[in-house]
C-alpha cells in the first residue's frame, strides 16, 4: 500500500528511534504535523520560537549523543533556525532539521513564505538536501541521520516541499546507506600510533588536551584509562568538559582564554601535546606564534580538516578518538607495564603544575554584602553534588560555570562553544531535560542571554520541564563590560541593561515560581528551596555587577601572558563611580 510523504516521514523517524521532535507548524508542513498528531510514538514539543526548537534539539543531542530533531515551516520558520544550525555546525552536534518548502512547481517563483532553505543553510550544515520526489524521501531521511551522527557529527537539513509530503509512494525504509563519497575513518594508522607511543614514553612534560570530539566519540573511559596509565595530566577545552573527572588528581580543568593559570602554563611549557578530539581553536591557543613553543604535537581527530589547520601536528592520527585511544593504550601496555617508573619520571612535571596551581589558584573574595557570581556556582556544585546536567548561556557566567562547576561525567556540561550563542542555554536545558525527565537540570544564565530566548518559559511551563534557571543577574552584558573595562577605558557602550524586567514577576506570569537572593546569606537557602521544587523554577541572584572573570588571556595575547586580576587603573572613564551608582540603583522597576 502506498503512503503519503507525511506518513513516510513519520514512519522513517520511528525507524530511526526518534522519540521527540521540537518545532512549530506552518502552511507547508501541516500535513506532516497532522500525521504526527495521530500517533503516539513520537512526541511533538511545540516551542515558542523556532530558534528555541533548534537549541532544544541541540540540548537533547548533547545530553544523549543521539540526533536531535527539529521540524519547522518554510521561509521564516527556516530562517529562525539558522542560528541553531550554525551553532550545531561549530560544535559538531548531530542535529537533523526538517524544513517545509513550497510545492515543487512553485519553487523559484517567490511564492508565499518561500526561501532557498538549502542555499541559506549550505555553509552552516554538514549536509543538506531538497527532496524533489516523494520516492526519495525515505532514503534521504536515512542518509540524513547517518551523516548527522557518524564521522564528525553535525547538522543536516532536509527540505521537504509541500507536495512531497502529500504525494504517495511505496514505503520501505532502507537498511543500508550507499554514499560513495562519505566514508569516515575510524581506525588510526598503526604506524602513526606506534610513533605516538614512542613520543609518549620519551616525553617529560606531556599534556593531554581534550576537546569536544572526545564526548561525541564516547571516549571518557578510554581517556581515564589512558591518563592513569601514562600519568599524563589532562586539560579540557570548554567543549571537552566532562570527558575527564574535574576532581581527578590528574585533571587541570579548563584551558584557554579563561582557563586555569596552571593549565595554560602547562600547555606553554609542555614538551608533548596529545590533542584528543580538539581543534586548536584561537580561544585555546592565544597568539599562535607563541603557542606551546617546545611541544611536539600528537593530534588525534576524526576530521582531517582539523589537523594541521592552526598548529602543526608532528604525528597526525586521523580516526575515532575512542578507537585510537584503545589502540594506543593496548600498545603502551605492551611496551610499558611499569606505571611506577613512569610516575617517577613525571613527578617533577606534576609537581611543577601543582606549584603553578598553588601560586595562582582560581580566586574571588566573598564578603557579607554583595553576592559574588562564583560563590553561587560553587554553592550550586556543592549542594547538587554534581548529580545533574548543567546548560549555560554565553558570557562571564559561562566561564565561571566552566571554572567552578567541576563536572565529572560526560554530556553533563552543555554549552555553546564555537559560535558562542547567547540564548542557547535555556532551550538547550529544556532539550536535555526532555531527554532525562528525572534528572536535575540547571540552566546557568545571565539576564542578557536569558532574554534572548525567554519565550521558552512557556514551553517549560506547558510541558512541565522542571529546569532550574540560575540567573546571575548583574544588570550588564557582563563579558562585554569586562572587555570595556580592560580595553576601552571603562566606557560602557551599550552594555548596561539594568535589572529589567522583574524576573520573579515574569516567571510568575508563566506560572513558574521564582526566588530572589540579594545578599550572600540568601544564596544557599534559595538554592536549597529551588532544587527541592518539583517543577521549573527561576532563581534571581543579584550579583556584583563589576566582578571580572580571571585568569584571562587578552585577545591576541600569548597563552602564558595571562591577566590574573583587575589592573589598578580600572574603570577610568567612570568619573565619580557614575556607572557603579547607576548599576547599584538598578535604574529600573526593581528595588535594589
Partner 1 sequence: MEHIISVLVENKFGVLARVAGLFSARGYNIESLSVAPTLDPTASMITIVTEGDDRIVEQIIKQLNKVVEVMKVIDLTEAAHLDRETALIKINTNTKLEHRDEAIRICDIFRAKIVDSSPTTYTIEVTGDVGKVEALINLLKPLGIKELIRTGRIAIGREAGKTAARREPQADKA
Ligand X SMILES: Cc1ncc(C[n+]2csc(CCOP(=O)(O)OP(=O)(O)O)c2C)c(N)n1
Q: Tell me the catalytic residues.
A: 50, 112-113, 162, 479
Gap between the Cα atoms of 2 and 9, Å rounded: 13
DSSP assignment, residue 124? G
Q: Are strands 3-4 and 168-169 parallel, antiparallel or unpaired?
A: antiparallel
**Spacing of C-alpha 534 from chain mean position:** 26
Interface residue with ligand X among 55, 126, 326, 397 (CB under 6 A) is 397
474 lies in the site for ligand X, by CB under 6 A: yes
How many other CB atoms are there within 10 angstroms of residue 166's CB atom? Answer: 15
Q: Is residue 498 near ligand X by the rule CB under 6 A?
A: no
Strands (E), 285-355: 296-301, 315-318
Residue 182, contacted partner among partner 1, ligand X, none, CB below 5-8 A by kind: partner 1
By CB neighbour count within 10 A (0-12 exposed, 13-18 middle, 19+ buried), where does 37 fall? exposed
181 binds, among ligand X, partner 1, none (CB under 5 to 8 A by kind): partner 1
**Binds ligand X by CB under 6 A, chosen from 55, 477, 499, 571:** 477
For position 418 contacting ligand X by CB under 6 A, the verdict is no
**C-alpha closest to that of 265 among 228, 220, 295:** 295
Of 60 and 216, which CB lies nearer to partner 1 in the complex structure? 216
Choose, by CB under 6 A, the member of 480, 553, 562, 583 that binds ligand X. 480
Q: Which of the listed partners (partner 1, ligand X, none) does 287 bind, with a CB threshold of 5 to 8 Å by partner kind?
A: none
Q: How far is the CB of 129 from partner 1 (least distance, A)?
A: 7
Q: What is the dihedral of CA 80, 83, 84, 85, to 10 degrees?
A: 100
Which residues form the interface with partner 1 (CB under 8 A)? 118-119, 122-123, 126-130, 147, 179-182, 303-305, 308-309
Considering only the stretches 17-25, 121-129, 342-350, 416-424, report the one whose residues sit in contact with ligand X under the rule CB under 6 A: 416-424
Report the C-alpha gap between 540 and 543 in whole angstroms. 9
Name the 3-class secondary structure at 198. Answer: helix
Q: Which is nearer to ligand X, 255 or 422 (by Cβ)?
A: 422
Looking up cell 560513495 gives 180
Among positions 420, 490, 586, 588, the unique one binding ligand X when judged by CB under 6 A: 420
Site string for ligand X, 179-218 (x = CB under 6 A): ----------------------------------------
Q: Which CB sits closer to ligand X, 269 or 397?
A: 397
Helix 50-64 × helix 425-435 angle, to 10°: 50
Q: Which is nearer to partner 1, 181 or 591 (CB)?
A: 181
Task: Please say whether the beta carbons of 95 and 58 come within 8 A.
Answer: yes
Picking from 90, 94, 140, the residue whose alpha carbon sits closest to that of residue 118 is: 140
With CB under 5 to 8 Å by kind, the binding choice for 338 among partner 1, ligand X, none is: none
DSSP state of 433: H
Task: Provide the H-helix boundaries in 92-251.
Answer: 117-121, 137-149, 162-166, 190-202, 213-216, 220-230
Is the CB of 278 or the CB of 414 nearer to partner 1? 278
Nearer Cβ to partner 1, position 147 or 376?
Answer: 147
Q: Which stretch binds ligand X (CB under 6 A): 34-42, 65-73, 421-429, 458-466?
A: 421-429
Residues that bind ligand X (CB under 6 A): 393-397, 420-423, 446-449, 472, 474, 476-480
Amino acid at each position: 500500500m502506498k503512503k503519503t510523504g507525511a506518513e513516510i516521514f513519520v514512519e522513517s523517524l520511528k525507524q530511526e528511534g526518534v522519540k521527540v521532535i521540537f518545532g512549530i507548524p506552518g502552511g507547508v508542513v501541516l500535513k506532516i504535523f497532522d500525521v504526527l498528531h495521530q500517533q503516539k510514538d513520537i512526541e511533538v514539543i511545540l516551542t515558542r520560537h523556532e530558534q528555541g526548537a533548534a537549541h532544544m534539539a541541540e540540548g537533547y543531542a548533547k545530553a544523549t549523543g543521539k540526533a536531535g530533531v527539529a521540524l519547522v515551516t518554510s521561509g521564516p520558520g527556516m530562517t529562525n533556525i539558522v542560528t541553531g544550525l550554525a551553532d550545531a555546525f561549530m560544535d559538531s552536534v548531530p542535529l537533523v532539521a526538517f524544513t517545509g518548502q513550497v510545492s515543487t512547481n512553485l519553487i523559484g517563483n517567490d511564492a508565499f513564505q518561500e526561501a532557498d532553505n538549502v542555499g541559506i543553510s549550505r555553509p552552516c550544515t554538514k549536509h543538506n538536501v531538497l527532496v524533489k520526489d516523494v520516492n526519495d524521501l525515505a532514503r534521504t531521511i536515512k542518509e540524513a541521520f547517518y551523516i548527522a551522527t557518524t564521522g564528525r557529527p553535525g547538522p543536516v537539513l532536509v527540505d521537504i516541499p509541500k507536495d512531497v509530503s502529500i504525494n504517495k509512494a511505496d514505503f520501505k525504509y532502507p537498511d543500508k546507506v550507499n554514499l560513495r563519497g562519505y566514508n569516515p575513518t575510524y581506525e588510526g594508522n598503526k604506524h602513526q600510533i606506534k610513533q605516538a607511543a614512542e613520543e609518549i614514553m620519551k616525553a617529560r612534560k606531556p599534556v593531554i588536551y581534550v576537546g569536544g570530539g572526545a564526548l561525541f566519540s564516547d571516549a571518557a573511559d578510554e581517556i581515564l584509562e589512558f591518563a592513569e596509565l601514562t600519568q599524563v595530566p589532562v586539560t579540557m577545552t570548554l567543549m571537552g568538559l566532562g570527558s575527564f573527572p574535574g576532581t581527578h588528581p590528574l585533571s587541570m580543568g579548563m584551558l584557554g582564554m579563561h582557563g586555569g593559570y596552571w593549565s595554560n602554563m602547562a600547555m606553554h611549557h609542555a614538551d608533548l601535546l596529545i590533542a584528543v578530539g580538539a581543534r586548536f581553536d584561537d580561544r585555546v591557543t592565544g597568539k599562535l606564534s607563541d603557542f606551546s613553543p617546545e611541544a611536539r604535537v600528537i593530534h588525534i581527530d576524526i576530521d582531517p580538516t582539523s589537523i594541521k589547520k592552526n598548529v602543526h601536528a608532528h604525528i597526525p592520527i586521523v580516526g575515532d578518538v575512542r578507537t585510537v585511544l584503545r589502540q594506543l593504550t593496548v600498545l603502551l601496555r605492551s611496551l610499558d607495564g611499569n606505571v611506577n617508573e613512569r610516575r617517577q619520571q613525571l613527578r617533577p612535571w606534576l609537581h611543577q603544575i601543582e606549584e603553578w596551581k598553588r601560586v595562582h589558584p582560581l580566586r574571588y573574595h566573598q564578603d557579607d554584602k554583595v553576592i559574588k557570581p562564583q560563590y553561587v556556582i560553587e554553592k550550586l556544585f556543592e549542594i547538587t553534588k554534581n548529580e545533574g546536567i548543567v546548560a549555560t548561556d554565553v558570557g562571564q557566567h559561562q566561564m565561571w560555570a566552566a571554572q567552578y562547576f567541576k563536572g565529572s561525567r560526560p554530556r553533563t556540561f552543555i554549552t555553546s562553544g564555537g559560535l558562542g550563542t547567547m540564548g542557547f542555554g535555556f532551550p538547550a536545558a529544556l532539550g536535555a531535560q526532555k531527554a532525562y525527565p528525572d534528572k536535575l537540570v540547571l540552566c546557568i544564565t545571565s539576564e542578557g542571554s536569558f532574554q534572548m530566548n525567554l519565550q521558552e518559559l512557556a514551553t517549560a511551563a506547558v510541558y512541565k520541564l522542571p529546569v532550574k534557571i540560575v540567573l546571575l543577574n548583574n544588570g550588564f552584558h557582563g563579558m562585554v563590560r569586562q572587555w570595556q573595562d580592560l580595553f576601552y577605558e571603562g566606557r560602557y557602550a551599550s552594555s548596561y541593561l539594568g535589572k529589567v524586567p522583574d524576573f520573579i514577576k515574569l516567571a510568575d506570569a508563566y506560572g513558574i515560581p521564582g526566588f530572589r537572593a540579594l545578599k550572600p546569606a540568601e544564596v544557599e537557602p534559595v538554592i536549597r528551596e529551588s532544587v527541592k521544587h518539583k517543577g521549573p523554577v527561576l532563581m534571581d541572584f543579584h550579583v556584583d555587577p563589576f566582578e571580572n572573570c580571571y585568569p584571562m588571556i587578552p585577545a591576541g595575547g600569548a597563552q602564558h601572558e595571562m591577566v590574573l586580576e583587575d589592573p589598578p587603573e580600572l574603570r577610568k572613564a567612570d568619573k565619580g563611580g557614575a556607572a557603579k551608582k547607576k548599576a547599584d540603583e538598578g535604574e529600573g522597576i526593581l528595588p535594589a
